Amino acid sequence: MNMPLTSRFSTNILQFFGIMTLAAGAVCLLLFMLDLSPTSIAGAMAAGSFTSWLKFSQILSIWVPLLLCSCGLLFTFQAGLWNIGIEGQVVMGAIGATILLRLPEGVLPPTITIILSLITACIGGGLWGIFAGVLKNRGGVNEIFGGLGLNFVAQGIILYLIFGPWKRDGIASMSGTDIFSRELWLTTPTGWRVAPAALGLGIFIFLLSWFLLNRTRFGLRVKAVGINARAAQLFHIKPERYGLMAILVGGAMAGLAGGLQVTGVYHRLIPAVSSGYGYLGLLVVMLANYKALPVPLIALFFAWLAAGSIQLPIMLQIDSSLSGVIQGACVLSALLVHGLRKKKGAR
């Protein structure tokens, strides 16, 4: 018998607070052992994030690509696939966008160029995801290993382009390509660090993802494949086809994140354009228990950790990698809570 919607919502809320309580307790215990004050650290991170709109918009500039990557991962996780190759998909999306942004001036109007660059970013990320799916379906390569291999290939491609055909005039540098013309930047108002267009796209993609996964036949079939691929075949659902479609959609969203990084954040192509948001998205979706609704808040929490940790070396002389420890504690706590819940349900 299915659990009523209100009961499931209450259970998820309690589970989330249980995870956060465990994670906070573990981090506080570690900080006490290191003779550090949790309240001082929390205060420093809050001061670096919430004391002005400029600082909060910095959080939002991290939140948008992280949310996009997490939305893409929702599709692949629902299909039963571990899309570890999402980092490469972000990179290939950034490269796809850069191809359009490097067109000679005057070939296309700037607004059209930006729109087409974001479309090309989606295509680049989606095709790179398809490669991982084909390796799995046709070559028998597990998507984890295929995705990791494609990540290295994507990183090699971006380094080749930055140090080769797209290098800056007279210099090849890890700082990336030449900065694009200002007309090809997403408009960012004075006092903002995130482009409103990027923010709107992130929110739209999340709502679209929720709708596709929960209110369409496509989402239902993707979930069926993820739950039991053999049983899905009895209903004439082809697991390979829907697995490819899921990783295509996920790769397109990751590619869009890469496109927004070059048009709205860095305004050029750099080697570290993905900023690790793909891997961080894996943690977000795991912490959300592979459900869509908690993803924006959890992604915002992780974005705050990433932005606020910058203040730790400045204010408290503590390495900013502490935010990674907090993220890890959250994920381990989530795994523990989910494991205990499954064990309880099996009794």
Question: How many angstroms separate the CA atoms of 219 and 84, rounded?
Answer: 21
Nearest to 162 by CA among 175, 152, 153: 175
> What per-residue confidence (pLDDT) applies to 1?
42
Question: How many angstroms separate the CA atoms of 325 and 283, rounded?
Answer: 13
Q: Which residue has the tokens 């109007």?
A: 109
Q: Is the pLDDT of residue 2 over 60?
A: no
The pTM assigned to this predicted structure is 0.89
> Mind listing the pLDDT tens digit for each residue in 234-261?
888 999 999 999 999 999 999 999 999 9
Question: How many angstroms separate the CA atoms of 185 and 267, rounded?
Answer: 6
The ranges assigned to domains in the chain are: 63-276
Nearest to 330 by CA among 16, 99, 97: 16
Give the model's confidence band at 12: pLDDT under 50 very low, under 70 low, under 90 confident, else very high.
low
